[in-house]
Structure formats: C-alpha cells, structure tokens
C-alpha cells in the first residue's frame, strides 16, 4: 500500500475486501490500513470467529470491540453508529487524510468527509487485481476450459434446438453441474442480436453465444463469445470476417508497454477500413462498445480496453471482443481472454472463430 497521498485507506465489503483479506463478508466488514502500521479487519461480532479462521489478516476486531453496540443504542440508527465507530477509530489513530474507494457507500462517505480530509480513490486493490499471479491465471484458464466445453455442448444442441432461451438454460445447467456459475448468458439470433446484451428469440441465420461463468470453487471468471453461422447470410458473414480480422490484429499488438487505446484503436482501424462505423466516429450502429475489460474475481474489472491510456503490464488478463451491430441486419461478436506477456500475449480461450454449423459439426 502506498501512503503518499493519504494516511488511511478503508475498504468496505466488496470483492476487493475478499481479495485483500480472503474473508468472504456477508453484508458488512471493513478492512483498514494505515501509515502507522494499522492492518485491521473489522467485522460484525458474530463473524469474528469465522474471520479469524478464513482471513489472512492478523488483527481482527468485532464491531462490539469498538463500542458499536452502545453507539447503536445511543443513535438508534445502525448506519450512524457505524460512521461514528469508524470516525472514532480513525481519530484514535490520528488520521488526517482518509482515502475511500470510489464505490464506498454514501452513508459513511459523507460523515467521514465531515470529520477528515477524504479522498475518493480507485481502490489500490483494484489496481493490484489487474495484474494476475500465476495461480490466478491458472484459475482463469480452468474456467476458460469449462466455458469452451459448454460452448461445444451448445453447438451440438444447435442442430435441433431452436429456442435461444432453452439453449441458454442448458448451457448454464451444464456449467453449474461442472462447478461453474454462469449468469446472464447471452444466446441471441436474428435482428435481436443487434442489441449487444439482449438474449432470447428463435435461432435464425446466425447465433451469438456469449458465456461468462465463474468457478464456484475459486471464484475466478472467464468470458467467451462466438458467432455461429447456422445458414448462409452474406452480410452477417462479411461482418463476422471483419470482426475476426479486427480482433486478431488487435490481439497481435498486445505486449507489455502498449496502452489500452492502442488495442482499441487497432480494432477501430480495421473495422473502419471496411466501411463500418465505430464509437470514435460517434456512431450509434456498428462497433458501439469498448474493446474489452479485465476478467478475474469480477467479470468486469481493470484494465478497461477503450480510449484510455492504461499501460498494459505482463500478467494483465482481459477480453478482446469487437462486435458489429446493425438494427436491420443483426449483430456479431467474437471474444477471447488474453494474458499480457513481456513480449507478447497468450490467448487462454483458444478456439476456432469461423464456425459454420453444417461443416463444423461434421465429426461431432
């Protein structure tokens, strides 16, 4: 933790707290680090023993140890009592500049800002999480193998099943029983696929299948999309070829030291060269989203791959997922997860991209 800009940092109970402490908070918990050596996990009394068992933090206190219950009875308001508990703790430690993460809840942020010089910062754990350890990459690879296996299973279904909703449910059930939880899986076809996050409908000429499960065991995500051509459709196939070329060219640029926007603009360059519109031309059809996002303990995390200047570091893991969306035609998207290496990259969802159902399934 760097304490150049602040004395204390308070992490509330989101996935960053789990990352930093290995304690799975139910509702409430705070992890407090300070430039005086403070390294404290603060949990409801009932959770104290579980925190001692699960967490890697050595100093663990219950709310009761910090006078919370008396404060709650005094204010008759548990939120005010929490704020006062934190303020008193920080004053005991002579805190002056207190940093809180961007998504810190307002009921604590506003009272803290009245008591201290409060800085809203990107959680330092968010930054740490962006660069994965070897173990974390193995976890993401594990989930990636599962998602590809589920996709192959879905391909076989596509021969007969025509309901996108049923295909989606079967994919999610398949993954769950293998130990992975996929929520919000997208299976869309026809013109509906022009809406990037829509799902459902009947299988027409092509199907976009976008699956992003996490492991029920180690909690790491993967994210994988393929566009399957069920019946020939010239416009869709042209769009798909352009998207595959854009994706492959963008991936080929990846190595430590380049910036997120280099990757994003490579996608835009290729798509624009074929006459498709992109967001940098303020289009509302064509390539209308960012190129990708980090994948780890959350499905969307750092680094973002868009117009930002984020410098890629070895060990970063993110998606490269260009797409094209036209209301009168439909949408296509191709997505892989890549790891940045010192001199290049690894694709960890390696799988064919040109999937013409009739030919592809010959041997299946």
Binding site for a second copy (CB under 8 A): 26-27, 45-47, 49-50, 53, 64, 69, 73, 76, 79, 100-107, 109-110, 113, 118, 120, 172-173, 176-177, 181, 183-184, 195-198, 216, 282, 284, 288-289, 300, 307-309
The backbone torsions φ and ψ at residue 292, rounded to the nearest 5 degrees and listed phi first, read: 180, -175
Whether residue 290 contacts residue 278, with contact meaning beta carbons closer than 8 Å, is answered with no
How big is the CA angle at 131 (ends 129 and 133), to the nearest 5 degrees? 95
Q: Which is nearer to a second copy, 1 or 283 (CB)?
A: 283
- Is residue 347 helix, strand or coil? strand
Q: How far is the CB of 364 from a second copy (least distance, A)?
A: 25
Q: How far is the CB of 97 from a second copy (least distance, A)?
A: 14
d(CA 340, CA 120): 29
Q: Are strands 317-320 and 336-341 parallel, antiparallel or unpaired?
A: antiparallel
Q: Which is nearer to a second copy, 290 or 349 (CB)?
A: 290
**Burial label, 94 (beta-carbon count in 10 A; 0-12, 13-18, 19+):** exposed
Sheet holding 224-229, edge to edge: 186-189, 206-211, 224-229, 355-356
How big is the CA angle at 46 (ends 41 and 51), to the nearest 5 degrees? 35
Alpha carbon distances (Å) from 110 to 6, 28, 77, 100, 106: 17, 18, 16, 11, 6
Q: How far is the CB of 161 from a second copy (least distance, A)?
A: 17
Q: How far is the CB of 275 from a second copy (least distance, A)?
A: 21
Q: How far is the CB of 327 from a second copy (least distance, A)?
A: 8
d(CA 34, CA 1): 9
Q: Which is nearer to a second copy, 46 or 202 (CB)?
A: 46
DSSP 216-266: TTT--B--EEEEEESS--HHHHHHHHHHHHHHHHHHHT--TT-BHHHHHHH
User: Which residue's entry shows tokens 């290049």?
Assistant: 344
Q: How far is the CB of 286 from a second copy (least distance, A)?
A: 12
Q: Which is nearer to a second copy, 202 or 342 (CB)?
A: 202
Q: Which is nearer to a second copy, 47 or 230 (CB)?
A: 47
Find, among 69, 52, 70, the residue nearest to 61 by Cα. 52
Q: Which is nearer to a second copy, 67 or 315 (CB)?
A: 67
Q: How far is the CB of 10 from a second copy (least distance, A)?
A: 10
Q: Which is nearer to a second copy, 23 or 345 (CB)?
A: 23
Q: How far is the CB of 159 from a second copy (least distance, A)?
A: 23
Could you write out the three-class secondary structure of 124-192? HHHHHHHECCHHHHHHHHHHHHHHHHHHHHHHHHHCCCCEHHHHHHHHHHHHHHHCEEECCCEEEEHHH
Whether residue 297 contacts residue 280, with contact meaning beta carbons closer than 8 Å, is answered with no
Q: How far is the CB of 240 from a second copy (least distance, A)?
A: 19
Q: How far is the CB of 220 from a second copy (least distance, A)?
A: 16
Q: Which is nearer to a second copy, 181 or 311 (CB)?
A: 181
d(CA 234, CA 98): 58
Q: Which is nearer to a second copy, 101 or 330 (CB)?
A: 101
Q: Which is nearer to a second copy, 237 or 285 (CB)?
A: 285
d(CA 252, CA 250): 5
């Amino acid at each position: 933790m760097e304490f150049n800009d602040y004395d204390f940092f308070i992490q509330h109970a989101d996935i960053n707290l789990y990352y930093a402490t290995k304690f799975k908070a139910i509702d409430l918990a705070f992890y407090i680090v300070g430039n005086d050596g403070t390294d404290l996990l603060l949990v409801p009394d009932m959770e104290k023993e579980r925190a001692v068992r699960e967490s890697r933090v050595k100093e663990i206190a219950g709310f009761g140890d910090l006078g919370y219950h008396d404060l709650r009875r005094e204010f008759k308001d548990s939120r005010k009592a929490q704020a006062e508990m934190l303020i008193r703790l920080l004053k005991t430690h002579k805190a002056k500049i207190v940093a809180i993460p961007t998504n810190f809840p307002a009921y604590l942020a506003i009272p803290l800002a009245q008591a201290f010089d409060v800085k809203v910062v990107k959680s330092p754990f968010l930054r740490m999480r962006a660069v994965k350890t070897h173990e974390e990459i193995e976890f993401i690879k594990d989930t990636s193998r599962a998602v590809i296996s589920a996709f192959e299973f879905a391909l076989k279904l596509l021969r007969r099943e025509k309901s996108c909703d049923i295909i989606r449910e079967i994919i999610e059930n398949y993954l769950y029983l293998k130990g992975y939880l996929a929520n919000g899986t997208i299976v869309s076809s026809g013109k509906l696929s022009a809406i990037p996050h829509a799902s459902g409908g009947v299988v027409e000429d092509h199907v976009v299948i976008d699956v992003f499960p996490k492991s029920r065991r180690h909690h790491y995500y993967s994210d994988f999309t393929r566009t399957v051509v069920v019946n020939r459709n010239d416009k869709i196939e042209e769009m798909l070829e352009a998207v595959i070329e854009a994706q492959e060219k963008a991936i080929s640029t990846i190595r430590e030291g380049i910036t997120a926007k280099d990757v994003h603009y490579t996608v835009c360059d290729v798509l624009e060269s074929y006459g498709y519109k992109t967001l940098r031309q303020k289009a509302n059809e064509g390539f209308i989203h960012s190129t990708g996002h980090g994948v780890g303990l959350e499905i969307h995390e750092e680094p973002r791959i868009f117009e930002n200047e984020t410098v890629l570091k070895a060990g970063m893991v993110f998606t490269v997922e260009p797409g094209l969306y036209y209301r009168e035609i439909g949408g296509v998207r191709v997505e892989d997860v890549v790891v940045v290496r010192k001199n290049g990259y690894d694709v960890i969802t390696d799988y064919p991209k040109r999937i013409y159902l009739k030919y592809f399934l010959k041997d299946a």
